[in-house]
Chains A and B, each alone.
Chain A
């Protein structure tokens, strides 16, 4: 599947492939058709984490890029180191950075951090402590940092391009991109149609590090916070048989991770490293809106908890041959029980 190299001008024409888990054939639609597929009372759960400008170019020592991975409760940050070059080079082909020692100082312009520890798993995985408190640090990160982006993109894009329309707290080091197509007009249309839109915040991590030993660790435990309103709304939906649709894999992992940890969905903050795959039985989530991912990626394996593998393979093959595009500015996949009972999308199906 081709990567979408830049944002498209009319977000409502972005495509959406619809899979009914009890169905036989995936259907072509557009993201603007989402209100047709959802009923009043259905719940759409989004991850409202804002994207952190998590890529920091080291000015001393030179030839080093730091990508923040997660903020720990003590205020330190785990981070992945990259060698010379930048996002224009494929992640797997970036040269390794030189090894750092605990206690070394890194400078990013006026911002500095000391290396607290270097991981035993890989010398590219480190823990950093910045030279200022959180309030001053956010100011500096927004000044010196850039959004993490990858080599399939056509050019460098501003941070605002990597935000969902509803982003709030800067918890995600990469955009929770499943929700990117949910722009203002579509959100308002869904809300007016009686779809309950609720949020949780999940600290989405890096999707690739170019280091197999670090990738094997992913996902590291990621913080999430579920507000009371979301718990109440999801509870009401389940009580009356409405569907709970997670927007993105981070939402699935937060909701289902909460149930695995606590035995029920409850409000509050916690962290999860839950990996969802075939055989996992979701307790809260009925359907999923996500981006396009290839078989073999962890996102793809998560889909297998919601639809038969044969149907997902068929959907992926169709998407590839029909010219669907992938990655954060790409097309979407909707896995939704009952989707096949919708007679037709409003917009013409693209040629399949």
Chain B
């Protein structure tokens, strides 16, 4: 199996303007990746791009909503126009749904649908638009950012948890369908991090108990760089990886 070399790789990352996405973008930029960062709001995204460029890295902003699945062809085309065919795609942008997070009984169906659009359908549509390109160029890696809520049944996390469980299963199915090719698919559970998303979900959490996004980003990069450790379709837990290193 091949290692995923980050230097000079074309990397597509959603949710790149804050939290784990921003931390990943900065680490990838430092590792020499050629980045396309996507998020809905242009200004915070441009700020991260500027930060990466100031450190000598290559990054481009692609403001768009991953939940708008009709734009997947456009997103793939514009990303390739910027950095060429993609080597790595990291589906990190996530929606919690309404906050404070309601139990399922109080979750309007359209809010569930929106969570699934961002967390599942968008990543699915973009992966469809790029996986073939990875195959004909010799390989690539698709990373779907997951959550412990995909595994544990936590009250008030119904919509988000279901979408991440579905994303995890889709990762495994992609891997099964593409087995025997150099295109690989992973789910990554980053663990609980000190981010705005976490604060939105659990406002009274103690930040001292939460991982720093920069540390998790480094662990994820290490996992990407040493992909021989895990078969395609594996669900990787960042905290366990850190411990194993």
Contacts and interface: CB of A to CB of B under 8 A. Distances in A.
Nearest to B73: A160
Nearest to A139: B78
Interface stretch (A119-127, A183-191, A292-300): A183-191
Interface string B166-207: 000000000001101100000000000000000000000000
B76 to A, nearest CB: 7
Given A184-B132, A187-B132, A134 B81 contact: yes
A58 interface: no
A188 B136 CA distance: 10
A197 B73 contact: no
Interface string B77-101: 1101110111000000000000000
A184 to B, nearest CB: 6
A104 B135 CA distance: 45
Contact of A188 (B73, B84, B177): B177
Nearest to A187: B135
Contacts of B70: 158
Interface stretch (A1-9, A165-173, A216-224, A340-348): A165-173
Contacts of B129: 160, 163, 167
A38 to B, nearest CB: 15
Contacts of A191: 135, 180-181
B195 to A, nearest CB: 28
Contact of B135 (A142, A163, A170, A197): A197
Interface in B122-152: 129-133, 135-138
A341 B56 CA distance: 57
Contacts of B73: 50, 158-160, 163
Contact of B80 (A142, A165, A169, A192): A169
A192 B137 CA distance: 15
Contacts of A52: 77
Nearest to A179: B136
A138 interface: yes
Interface residues of A, number: 30
B177 A168 contact: no
A210 to B, nearest CB: 27
Interface residues of B, number: 28
A62 B38 CA distance: 35
B177 A48 contact: no
Nearest to B182: A191
Contact of A199 (B130, B131, B136): B136
B60 interface: yes
B132 A138 contact: no
Nearest to A134: B81
A48 B133 contact: yes
A160 B77 CA distance: 11
Contacts of B82: 135
A132 interface: no
Contact of A166 (B77, B132, B178): B132
B20 interface: no
Contacts of A245: none
Contacts of A184: 131-132, 177
B74 interface: yes
A164 interface: yes
A193 B212 CA distance: 45
B72 interface: yes
Given A160-B73, A168-B80, A192 B132 contact: no
A227 interface: yes
A142 B80 CA distance: 13
A142 B131 contact: no
A138 B75 CA distance: 10
A192 B135 CA distance: 11
Interface string A127-157: 0000000110011001000000000000000
Given A168-B80, A168-B85, A169-B84, A48 B136 contact: yes
A159 B73 CA distance: 7
Nearest to A193: B180
B181 A166 contact: no
Contacts of A158: 70, 73
Name, among B71, B82, B84, B136, the residue most crowded by chain A CB atoms within 10 Å (CB to CB): B136
Interface string B25-61: 0000000000000000000000000000000000010
A302 interface: no
A158 B72 CA distance: 12
A116 interface: no
6 contacts: A48-B85, A50-B77, A160-B129, A170-B80, A187-B135, A229-B138
Interface of A: 46, 48, 50, 52, 134-135, 138-139, 142, 158-160, 163-170, 184, 187-188, 191-192, 197-199, 227, 229
